[in-house]
């Protein structure tokens, strides 16, 4: 079956090359019995890829079971997957078959594999290596013929470094990796998805399809969509229910979905905390610092221009007004003894005041010091300023910095900041 045929069959919307590549790999690997690891953010459609692999394999007429490893308590996951004997634990009033026994000859999709407990990982590794498992409370070795397709939205290599995931299991699962791109990596598909969802919900709620005006469309395209396709679908459904008109402008979009207008600054990926999601705090602090500098600079320029206008001053032709704007970005530091005014007001022959820009050589004996551009240095500097500003009250300092109090506490310890 072609990629386009697969999209139509499974309702996959998009023309992104990255998405097509993921579907193509799924089709090619489906004819084998190799283990597959599907990677991508939450909400990108990893389960759909697992069904493509199963439905196009020789196992398609047998059982397909999807399991969310993060939704099963650690104390019962072994029983759920491998079964248990009667009396194996309190409440085990009868023998129970596990998913690996039930799905014999078929496919098991293990979503959020990174949340699986370490002891269960050891049992799973044995199944992958020789098809053997033991029920909870039993000593008898059972056999099964199951294909395992796993998925994760976290960085398993980071989990391995922390001792929370087995390295041998990772390489056993990762025989064929498939990466599903996030929605912000295929922005060309946002309009297609929005229109498809809009038509679907119009039929469901017997209304006109929601359409975006250009200003609202710009907002939708620029939003990062951390919840991916699932979040976009929810937004379209919300607009379909709450908006009475056919067309939506930016003002109405802000009224109904204000979260789309939140700042989405470039971010350094912090794989150690949220997997494939970005670690925003460090970059957001830096950008906050830069934006504050820009605002201060604009205030300085406005003050100088206001002085020029209120005193009816003319800027000398020898140095255009643009030079004054450029010089406003430099703030030299002078001693009282050597200070010389860089702005001099004089009078011409017509007795009209004239503003002359004079740039003295302040730096004859000065030493040029290169400013540190280290992200860590700037982050530490901003944290110290915020703590001083709020008298070491962490909650208020965290709010001012735009980060959580827990993140602030971690950064204080990381940088050794004395409060």
Q: What is the mean pLDDT of residues 292-317?
A: 68
Q: Where in the sequence of the chain do the CATH 3.40.50.300 domains occur?
A: 3-181
Residue 302 has pLDDT above 70, yes or no: yes
Sign of CA dihedral 281, 287, 288, 293: positive
Residue 32 has pLDDT above 90, yes or no: yes
Query: Count of CB atoms within 10 A of residue 117's CB?
Result: 16
Question: According to the model, what pLDDT value does residue 370 have?
Answer: 57
Residue 42 has pLDDT above 60, yes or no: yes
* CATH number assigned to the domain covering 3-181: 3.40.50.300
Position with higher pLDDT, 13 vs 340: 13
Q: What is the mean pLDDT of residues 209-213?
A: 93
Ranges 79-93, 253-267, 348-362, 389-403: which has the least confidence: 348-362
Residue 122 has pLDDT above 90, yes or no: yes
Q: Where in the sequence of the chain do the CATH 1.10.8.60 domains occur?
A: 184-261
Ranges 65-74, 170-179, 238-247, 274-283: which has the least confidence: 274-283
pTM of the predicted model, to two decimals? 0.61
Average model confidence (pLDDT) across the chain: 81
Q: What is the mean pLDDT of residues 387-411?
A: 82
How would residue 41 be classed by pLDDT, with cut points 50, 70 and 90? very high
Domain 184-261 grouped into CATH 1.10.8.60? yes
Using alpha carbons, list the distances in angstroms from residue 183 to 12, 158, 186: 13, 23, 5
Residue 367 has pLDDT above 80, yes or no: no
What pLDDT digit, counting tens, does each position of 241-286 carry? 988 888 999 999 999 999 888 755 444 444 444 444 444 455 566 6
Question: According to the model, what pLDDT value does residue 310 have?
Answer: 67
Pair 353, 312: CB distance under 8 Å: yes
């Amino acid at each position: 079956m072609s990629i386009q045929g697969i999209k139509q069959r499974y309702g996959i919307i998009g023309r992104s090359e990255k998405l097509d590549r993921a579907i193509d790999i799924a089709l090619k690997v489906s004819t084998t019995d190799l283990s597959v690891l599907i990677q991508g953010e939450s909400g990108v459609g990893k389960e759909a890829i697992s069904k493509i692999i199963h439905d196009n394999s020789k196992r398609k007429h047998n059982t397909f079971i999807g399991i969310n490893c993060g939704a099963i308590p650690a104390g019962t996951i072994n029983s759920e997957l491998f079964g248990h004997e009667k009396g194996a634990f309190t409440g085990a009033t009868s023998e129970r078959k596990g998913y690996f026994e039930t799905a014999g000859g078929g496919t098991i999709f293990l979503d959020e594999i990174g949340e699986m407990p370490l002891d269960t990982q050891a049992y799973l590794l044995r199944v992958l290596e020789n098809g053997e498992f033991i029920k909870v409370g039993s000593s008898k070795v059972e056999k099964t013929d199951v294909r395992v397709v796993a998925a994760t939205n976290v960085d398993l290599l980071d989990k391995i470094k922390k001792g929370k995931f087995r390295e041998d299991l990772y390489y056993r699962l990762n025989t064929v990796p498939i990466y599903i791109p996030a929605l912000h990596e295929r922005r060309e598909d946002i309009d297609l998805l929005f229109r498809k969802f809009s038509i679907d919900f119009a039929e469901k709620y017997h209304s006109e399809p929601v359409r975006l005006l250009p200003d609202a469309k710009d907002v939708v395209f620029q939003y990062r969509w951390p919840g991916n396709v699932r979040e976009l679908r929810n937004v379209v459904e919300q607009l379909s229910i709450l908006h009475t008109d056919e067309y939506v402008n930016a003002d109405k979009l802000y009224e109904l979905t204000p979260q789309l207008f939140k700042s989405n600054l470039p971010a350094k990926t912090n794989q150690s905390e949220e997997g494939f999601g970005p670690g925003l705090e460090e970059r957001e602090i830096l950008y906050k610092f830069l934006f504050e500098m820009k605002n201060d600079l604009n205030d300085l320029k406005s003050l100088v221009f206001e002085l020029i206008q209120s005193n009816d001053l003319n800027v000398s032709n020898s140095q255009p007004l643009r030079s004054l704007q450029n010089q406003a970005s430099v703030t030299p530091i002078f001693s009282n003894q050597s200070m010389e005014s860089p702005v001099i007001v004089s009078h011409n022959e017509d007795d009209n005041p004239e503003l002359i820009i004079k740039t003295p050589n302040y730096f004859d004996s000065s030493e040029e010091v290169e400013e540190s551009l280290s992200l860590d240095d700037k982050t530490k500097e901003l944290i110290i300023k915020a703590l001083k500003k709020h008298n070491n009250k962490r909650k208020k300092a965290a709010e001012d910095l735009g980060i959580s109090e827990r993140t602030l506490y971690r950064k204080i310890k990381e940088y050794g900041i004395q409060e």
